């Protein structure tokens, strides 16, 4: 039983670690999306400031071009993180499933031990009752 307790603790730790990783990825995606929104605001502000909205125009602002490049890089990073997020979800599901299996085995074993203990206790009570009944006659 001691080794199973250790295994359950290990599996719980693994589940917690997978949840933490999942949360980190979700946080990074949200941060990148916020950064994209900020960049889009900056791009529009720069375009409005110079009055040129056509990226192919020879006088298109360099700052806006650089911001567009950063925005696109962030979008690629988000796509990569979304793939990692899906993988992390799958890993979390597998870890939770493993934990549940081990916990169910532990519960089954504990129920069996309780039943055995109850049976022994009942036998003892029955024996005491039969002795009392035999002496009472």
Domain segments of the chain: what residues? 2-109
pLDDT at 62 over 80: yes
pLDDT in tens, 103-116: 999 999 889 989 99
3-state secondary structure labels for all residues of 25-66: HHHHHHHHHHHHHHHHHHHHHHHHHHCCCCCCCCCCCHHHHH
pLDDT in tens, 17-53: 999 999 999 999 999 999 999 999 999 999 999 999 9
pLDDT at position 93: 97
pLDDT at 1 over 80: no
Q: Considering the domain 2-109 in this protein, what is its CATH number?
A: 1.10.287.1490
pTM summary value: 0.75
């Amino acid at each position: 039983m001691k080794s199973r307790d250790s295994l359950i603790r290990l599996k719980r730790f693994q589940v917690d670690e997978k949840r933490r990783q999942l949360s980190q990825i979700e946080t990074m995606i949200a941060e990148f999306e916020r950064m994209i929104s900020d960049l889009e605001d900056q791009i529009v502000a720069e375009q409005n400031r110079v009055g040129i909205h056509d990226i192919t125009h020879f006088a298109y602002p360099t700052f806006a071009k650089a911001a567009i490049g950063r925005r696109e890089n962030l979008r690629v990073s988000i796509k990569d993180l979304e793939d990692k997020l899906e993988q992390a979800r799958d890993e979390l599901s597998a870890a939770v499933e493993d934990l549940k299996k081990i916990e169910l085995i532990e519960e089954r074993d504990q129920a069996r031990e309780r039943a055995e203990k109850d049976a022994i206790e009942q036998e003892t009570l029955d024996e005491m009752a039969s002795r009392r009944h035999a002496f009472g006659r």
